[in-house]
Chains A and B, each alone.
Chain A
Amino acid sequence: MTFRQMLRRSLYTVLIAAVLAFFAIPMLWLASAPFDSDPGVGLRWPDWTLDNWRVTFSHPYALGSLLNSIVLCAVATIVTTALGTLAAYALSRVHIPGRDALLYVLLLLSSVVTGTAAMVPIFVMMLQLGLINSQYATGLVIAGGMLPAAIFILKDFIDSVPRSYEESARVFGASPGQVLRHVVLPVARPGIATITVWAFVQAWGNFLLPFLLLRDVTEQPAAVLLRTLKDEGGSANLTVIPVFSLLYAIPVVALYLFVSKRYGFRFHGGIKA
């Protein structure tokens, strides 16, 4: 090996090591702080204990907020998946006048009307409707935000189901409902499952909307409570926060692993470049 190549190799190794360190080090806190008997804001080798977990589980709002998260995300996910699949199916198969323009507009909407840009009108709307602190309303709002992208991705999946399946079923006498139930949905299942997981993860991690709309601590999902814990009593509750962070983060990581194992991770936040 020439000197040049050796230099190259070592530079390369250094680069990879640096990148790995850059990305991995911040995450170490999640591995150490939850188990540390005297957790600090910073990173240190923990004094191993499970006490923090005991405290967290007996915290009045901690587990409740996880439940809230599940309810909120379930509402948002079910609505998004169900309405999105129906719409995507219709848009994929039937040539409604103005369909292409509609798809274009949907794509546009999803990028333009972000949570930040819409936070004021949404807040005012919910305030005036008296729907602040309503899990279901917030779930619907979140679903509304996810639907355009969901429809787009689902339509792509359904487009790839061969039309001959449906035509065949039709010729054999199946009604449109039967065609949908017997043929299309089973075949499009991987795509629908992917969207379900994607929607759930998006909703689980959504901070701004629940933060705005769910002001009562007992209604807050984990995303917001985690933040609230910082402010309660003036200083951060460092016994609970690390454990709670871990608890809150695990479902997301698990789901991501599950989807990428099963279906291959090919949806970069739903955008295909």
Chain B
Amino acid sequence: MAAIELTGLSTVYPNGVRAVDDLDLSVTDGEFFALLGPSGCGKTTLLRTIAGLEQSSSGTIELDGKDVTSVDAGKRGVAMVFQDYALFPHMTVAQNIAYPLRVRRASKQAQQDAATSTSAGLGLSALLERRPGQLSGGQQQRVALARAIAMSADVLLLDEPLSNLDARLRLEARTFLKRLQHDLGLTTVFVTHDQAEALALADRIAVMAEGRIRQLGTPKEVFQRPADTFVANFIGSTPMNLLSGTVRDGQVEVAGARLTPPGDLTLSDGTPVVAGIRPEYLQPGTDGITGVVSIVENLGVTSLVTLECPGEVLVGLTVPEHEEPAVGTTMTAAPAPGRLLVYDGETTELLTA
């Protein structure tokens, strides 16, 4: 169990691309930490750098207080599960799980014991003599996890752990993974491009883009108060409404309506701003943005209504299942109290008091 401390970490490729750009990060002991971002944002590079598979260009990596920046991959006390699980096809499940011990020349008995005890905890006891090719996707993932656990490492790294599973299995595996990490208390960093996955699993999330961390916070913080419009757009199953406008008389003027900014925020007139409000936090009401219903999408328990508002702006709001308005009706979407976010129109950062 260890803390991970990254200081000023940068990885620059020969062609000049800064995959990781002067990054600082602290992961506390036992934390389930997510690196979230679109493809190409540097999250996988960062993970591999922590593992030792890639060399950073500058900065330091400390695991449990020890500087491991120049230490070889196998000697950092880091276990990793790859996206394709990387189970060795010519070895049985038991041999795969025991592999970290085999590398350290542990006795045959020790290897066997490790395989039996680790597999028992993951429900793999019946599969010990099978080959990876004979296992289902979910079983393969558990074998890969078992192998990582058998290593008795201080840190566990997961590269897109759920993306190789089909949709239904993914949700079950998600719950399983969260429980496993909690039971083991193992410091875990995982990479994902799926924001729902990150929100569900992580204790804290680092939202990344272009090699930099845009926001570091708990799932709640990242969801309710995204630090900039990029994060705001990235997080949330339904996209947040981001409406450009200006400040007029201390109010935010967007889409033909005047909205009251959060109580403690003072804005000077004429400032360009972007108003952010999630569709889930807009309700049919009287004081808000008015528009004409153009599309109604059924989401199951709720429906996503798209309003065409003045200035050709589209605003989305969710309504409960029995309250879908008819297309063509005019309605007003009122922000729930305290849920309106105001972003600086130029820097895209969240304006706070």
Interface flags, A182-206, vs B, CB<8A=1, else 0: 1100110100000000000000000
Pairwise interchain contact B74-A171, C-beta atoms closer than 8 A: yes
Pairwise interchain contact A173-B86, C-beta atoms closer than 8 A: no
Residues from 91 to 106 in B contacting A, C-beta threshold 8 Å? 99-100, 102-104
Residues from 47 to 84 in B contacting A, C-beta threshold 8 Å? 51-53, 73-75, 78-80, 82-84
Residues from 264 to 305 in B contacting A, C-beta threshold 8 Å? none
* Chain B, Cβ-Cβ closest to A161: B89
Residues from 166 to 190 in A contacting B, C-beta threshold 8 Å? 167-175, 178, 182-183, 186-187, 189
Pairwise interchain contact A170-B74, C-beta atoms closer than 8 A: yes
**Contact partners of A169 in chain B: CB under 8 A:** 88, 99, 103
- CA–CA, A165 and B147, complex, Å: 13
**Contact partners of B79 in chain A: CB under 8 A:** 171-172
Pairwise interchain contact B103-A172, C-beta atoms closer than 8 A: yes
Nearest CB on B from A186, distance (A): 4
Cross-interface CB contact of B53 among A170, A172, A187, cutoff 8 Å? A170
Q: Does A164 contact B (CB under 8 A)?
A: yes
Q: Does B36 contact A (CB under 8 A)?
A: no
Q: Does B41 contact A (CB under 8 A)?
A: no
Q: Does A234 contact B (CB under 8 A)?
A: no
Pairwise interchain contact B88-A183, C-beta atoms closer than 8 A: yes
Q: Does B90 contact A (CB under 8 A)?
A: yes
Cross-interface CB contact of B80 among A168, A174, A178, A187, cutoff 8 Å? A168
Q: Does A130 contact B (CB under 8 A)?
A: no
- CA–CA, A167 and B84, complex, Å: 12
- CA–CA, A221 and B53, complex, Å: 50
Nearest CB on B from A257, distance (A): 25
**Contact partners of A189 in chain B: CB under 8 A:** 90
Chain A contact residues: over half helix, strand or loop, or mixed? Answer: helix
Q: Does B259 contact A (CB under 8 A)?
A: no
- CA–CA, A175 and B74, complex, Å: 8
Q: Does B151 contact A (CB under 8 A)?
A: yes
**Contact partners of A173 in chain B: CB under 8 A:** 74-75, 100, 103-104, 151
**Contact partners of A162 in chain B: CB under 8 A:** 84, 86
**Contact partners of A167 in chain B: CB under 8 A:** 53, 73, 80, 82, 86
* Chain B, Cβ-Cβ closest to A174: B103
**Contact partners of A168 in chain B: CB under 8 A:** 80, 82, 86
Pairwise interchain contact B100-A172, C-beta atoms closer than 8 A: yes
Cross-interface CB contact of A164 among B74, B84, B102, B147, cutoff 8 Å? B84
- CA–CA, A164 and B48, complex, Å: 12
Pairwise interchain contact B90-A187, C-beta atoms closer than 8 A: yes
**Contact partners of A165 in chain B: CB under 8 A:** 86, 88
Cross-interface CB contact of A186 among B74, B84, B90, cutoff 8 Å? B90
* Chain B, Cβ-Cβ closest to A165: B86
Cross-interface CB contact of A187 among B75, B89, B103, cutoff 8 Å? B89
- CA–CA, A168 and B148, complex, Å: 10
Besides A167-B86, A171-B73, A175-B103, 11 more A-B contacts (Cβ < 8 Å) are A167-B73, A168-B86, A170-B73, A171-B52, A171-B53, A172-B100, A173-B75, A174-B103, A175-B74, A182-B99, A186-B90
- CA–CA, A187 and B91, complex, Å: 10
A-B contact pairs, 20 of them (CB 8 A): A162-B84, A162-B86, A164-B82, A164-B83, A164-B84, A167-B53, A167-B73, A168-B80, A168-B86, A169-B88, A170-B52, A170-B53, A171-B51, A171-B80, A172-B79, A172-B99, A173-B74, A182-B88, A182-B102, A182-B103
**Contact partners of A187 in chain B: CB under 8 A:** 88-90
**Contact partners of A186 in chain B: CB under 8 A:** 88, 90
- CA–CA, A47 and B147, complex, Å: 68
Nearest CB on B from A197, distance (A): 20
Nearest CB on B from A65, distance (A): 39
Q: Are A171 and B103 CB-contacts (below 8 A) given A164-B84, A183-B88?
A: no
Residues from 242 to 257 in B contacting A, C-beta threshold 8 Å? none
- CA–CA, A17 and B45, complex, Å: 62
**Contact partners of A171 in chain B: CB under 8 A:** 51-53, 73-74, 78-80
- CA–CA, A183 and B103, complex, Å: 11
* Chain B, Cβ-Cβ closest to A166: B86
